Amino acid sequence: MKKLILSLLCISLLSSCSINFGRSVNILSFSSKAYDNAPKKEIKVKNFNSITNEGPLQIYYAYADKPAVVLEGDTALFNKVQTKQEGSNLTISMQPGTYHNLWLRITIYSNDIKEINQTGSGDIICKTLKLRHDLDLNEVGSGDIRINQLICDELDAEVCGSGSIYINNIKANEADLNIIGSGSTEINGSITKVDADVTGSGSIYGNLSYQKIKENKTGSGNINLSKK
């Protein structure tokens, strides 16, 4: 049942992505210019615990006592960044257009996070997440979600399309890892119970310390979780 729900969700989200891509947000190149002493703008937002990157932007997430969205770089681009809040979710997107040599860094701050959604070809990057509850990661399209260190109770990580989820150092009680398509999940660390499922040509791999693992593959994909 869960696999069917995930398949239907992927179809729905990919359809939504197609509509969003039709708005023609096209970033041709990113600037290599540093952000030392770069102009900044803070966008005030209400409390949230879910974030969505809608499109090709690179977004950083970090913990802070007060929720905020901080923009750095080219001031002419600041008014091109769109924020939308619905319930507990904050969505970041870019106004339609073609962008060359984009000099823009977006950092999202909040005091809690329960869900991270990446749709399209962008990236969401988190350095450290230390949580006392579950975390949901959803990657739809060709983008990436990257977390350097993660502590949580249960992880639910879903990749739909050709994108990737990377978790370098995890400590969790349970993890449910699902791939539909040609995407990948790399995960390293310690998880007590792991459930890994690949449908298509995708892959789940990494080095894990675990007590129990369940694997299921449909298609040409692979699961290679080496036990520490």
Find the helix or strand (DSSP H, E) in which 24 lies.
Answer: none
- Strand (E) or helix (H) holding 70: strand 68-73
The structural architecture, per CATH, of the domain 2-220 is 3 Solenoid (2.160)
pLDDT for the residue numbered 42: 98
The residues spanned by each domain of the chain are 2-220
Output the tens digit of pLDDT for each of the chain's 228 residues: 455 555 555 655 555 554 444 468 889 999 999 999 999 999 999 999 999 999 899 999 999 999 999 999 999 999 999 999 999 999 999 999 999 999 999 999 999 999 999 998 999 999 999 999 999 999 999 999 999 999 999 999 999 999 999 999 999 999 999 999 999 999 999 999 999 999 999 999 999 999 999 999 999 999 999 987
The pLDDT value recorded for residue 14 is 54
Q: How far apart are CA 212 and CA 125, in angstroms?
A: 29
227/185 Cα distance (integer angstroms): 16
Give the model's pLDDT for residue 3. 53
Report which of 22, 42, 178 is spatially closest to residue 109, judged by C-alpha positions. 42
Instruction: For residues 25 and 93, give the distance between their C-alpha atoms in angstroms, rounded to a whole number.
Output: 9
Determine the straight-line distance between the first and last CA of the chain, rounded to whole angstroms: 32
Provide φ and ψ at 8, rounded to 5°. Answer: -65, -40
